[in-house]
Amino acid sequence: MILYPLIAVMVLLWSGNFIVAKIALREFPPLLLMGIRAIVAGLIILPVYLLRPRARLSRHDIARLIGIGIFGVALNQLFFVIGISSTTVAHAALMLGLTPVLVLLIAGSLKMERITVSKVAGMAVAIAGVAILQSTHTGAPSVMGDCFIFLASFTFALFTVMGKRSATQFDAITVNTFAYVGSAIALLPVTIWQARMTPLSGISVTAWCCLLYMSAFASVLCYLIYYYAIRRLSASRVSTFSYLQPLLASLMAVFWLGESLSTALVAGGAVIFTGVILVERG
């Protein structure tokens, strides 16, 4: 079955995105990085959409697709880029590990999933893990960065639930084309403004390659796989694969960025994972 190997590729590429984003942000301002990322991703996927047979879309369909894109792409990646610029890879990966809990909360409020006492208990444990994680950092930049990563997790959870509702009507290429092209157009004024303030000629080839990775692989390819997966599995089940990202991203950060794994980080991560597993099994 091709689905699970594809999901494994997606998780690996998304885990690497934490490292790549950190490297790119050494030279790109966060808003400029996010804006160019959306533009490049849109330019990659638009020809694929235009060169294939496609159904006619109503204005309502287009508005809904753009709405999904705003939450799943524009806001998600805005919060991610700002957050990762102000916190560690390990912290960011663990905060994004809360996504399955948020998916269940949103899906439960929409009557798409059942929230039980066990799930509520698991959510409480996960929140306690976040509290442990934050208790070791008194500096505002880390706390602020983690808050933005949490917002990235929340918007991606919205994308997961909304995408599941639309999965029977729209294919992955259609959803992602409108998401990225719509986001690129919406962010164009900010992108132009940031580009005028940044000496682009001074940005290294390494940073541009990191941006290309974020656009082509972490954006287009991973989102296509993700939407392909939620068409075939429940939203909460697909989101459980995000459990692997904190481990992989943290290990990559140790080797590539020289980040350390503190006792508090490991303890907070263990508590978060315990809570998320309780939510999933409840």
Residue pair 81/32 in contact by the 8 Å Cβ criterion: no
Residue pair 102/276 in contact by the 8 Å Cβ criterion: no
Q: Quote the pLDDT of residue 128.
A: 76
Locate the domains of the chain by residue range. 3-281
86 vs 224: CA distance, rounded Å: 28
The pLDDT of 34-45, averaged and rounded, is 93
Helix (H) or strand (E) holding 19: helix 3-24
Provide the angle, in degrees to the nearest 10, between the axes of the packed helices 222-230 and 3-24.
Answer: 140
pLDDT above 50 for 138: no
Residue pair 7/241 in contact by the 8 Å Cβ criterion: yes
Residue pair 246/93 in contact by the 8 Å Cβ criterion: yes
The pLDDT of 62-82, averaged and rounded, is 84
Q: Quote the pLDDT of residue 136.
A: 58
The per-residue pLDDT for range 217-275, each reduced to its tens digit, is 998 999 889 888 877 776 666 666 666 677 677 778 777 888 776 776 677 777 777 77
Of the candidates 89, 81, 206, the one whose C-alpha atom is nearest the C-alpha of residue 152 is 81
The pLDDT of 125-147, averaged and rounded, is 67
pLDDT above 80 for 164: no
The pLDDT of 201-216, averaged and rounded, is 95
